């Protein structure tokens, strides 16, 4: 991991890859916490498509963050980004809504912002492939589906049990003092069957105004021969 990457084949599409791509963009982290982020080889088109999503997410994620570093990120880096993107700025300013939810016996409230959920899930498709490469030098075949989604607390408890070290490979990462945490597991009989779980910015709360008890905070990505029913996939 770290700065090492093997040039050659793009981790995302299998085409010849000539650039080094940070699996998670440097802009997701404060400037002092950008060393040692996983990198992989990528082709120029994938690198460019992916970085468009990263520009968007770097602006959005700190708003939804639940991590102590979200606030300084929001104050220092987001205004600079919003100044360059008037349309996104207006969408965020006009779209804020009050959100209430219940945790245990406590009622919580905050504000929510609209964001492009499909873009975030699409991003995780890149990330799953990138991490499989960075940790296990595994290139996910192009005909494999990458399913992504949110997992509610209840579903998460079930899925957690799958991470018991039975896989061929197990990986975990703590990037930027916990701003992004992940773990991944690789199946024994198929190295390209991988499963990833992400906690981003301390657990973003995904909800609408009808939020109920079981609030999704975790994001998942699964690379498999066939799409996982019920999860969006490419």
Contacting residues for 54 by C-beta, under 8 A, at least 6 apart = 25, 27, 28, 123
d(CA 166, CA 185): 8
* DSSP structure class, residue 26: G
Q: Residue 149 Cβ, how far from Zn ion at the closest point, in Å?
A: 23
Of 183-202, which residues contact Zn ion (CB under 5 A)? none
Beta carbon nearer to Zn ion, 54 or 218: 54
Contact (CB, 8 A) for 65 and 204: yes
By C-beta, is 41 or 73 nearer to Zn ion? 41
Q: Residues 6 or more apart from 14 whose CB is under 8 A from it?
A: 139, 141, 142
Q: Select the span of 43-51, 132-140, 155-163, 186-194 touching Zn ion (CB under 5 A).
A: 43-51
- Cβ at position 97, least distance to Zn ion in Å: 37
Decide if residue 13 touches Zn ion (CB under 5 A): yes
Tokens of 183: 């773990």
How near is the Cβ of 45 to Zn ion at its closest, in Å? 6
Smallest gap, in angstroms, from Cβ of residue 14 to Zn ion? Answer: 7
Strands, E assignment, 120-179: 145-151, 169-175
Among 25, 37, 40, 43, binds Zn ion (CB under 5 A): 43
Crossing angle (nearest 10°) for helices 86-95 and 44-64: 30
* Member of 46, 57, 138, 179 binding Zn ion (CB under 5 A): 46
In whole angstroms, the minimum distance from the beta carbon of 189 to Zn ion comes to: 27
Q: Closest CB to Zn ion among 70 and 139?
A: 139
Handedness of CA 13, 143, 4, 195 (dihedral sign): positive
Contacting positions for Zn ion (CB under 5 A): 10, 12-13, 15, 43, 46
């Amino acid at each position: 991991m770290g700065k090492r990457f093997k040039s050659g084949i793009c981790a995302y599409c299998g085409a010849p890859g000539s650039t080094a791509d940070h699996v998670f963009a440097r802009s997701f982290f404060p400037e002092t916490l950008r060393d040692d982020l996983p990198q992989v080889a990528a082709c120029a088109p994938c690198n460019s498509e992916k970085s468009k999503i990263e520009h968007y997410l770097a602006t959005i994620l700190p708003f939804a963050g639940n991590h102590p570093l979200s606030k300084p990120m929001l104050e220092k880096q987001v205004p600079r980004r919003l100044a360059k993107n008037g349309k996104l700025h207006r969408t965020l300013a006009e779209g804020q809504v009050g959100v209430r939810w219940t945790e245990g016996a406590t009622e919580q409230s905050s504000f929510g912002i609209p964001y492009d959920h499909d873009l975030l899930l699409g991003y995780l498709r890149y990330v799953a492939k990138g991490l499989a490469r960075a940790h296990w030098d595994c290139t996910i075949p192009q005909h494999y589906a990458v399913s992504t989604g949110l997992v509610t607390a209840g579903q998460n408890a079930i899925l957690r049990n799958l991470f018991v070290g039975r896989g061929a490979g197990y990986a975990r990462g703590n990037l930027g003092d916990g701003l992004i945490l992940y773990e991944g597991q690789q199946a024994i009989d198929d190295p390209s069957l991988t499963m990833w779980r992400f906690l981003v910015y301390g657990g973003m709360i995904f909800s609408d105004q009808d939020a109920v008890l079981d609030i999704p905070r975790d994001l998942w990505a699964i690379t498999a021969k066939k799409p996982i029913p019920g999860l969006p996939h490419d």
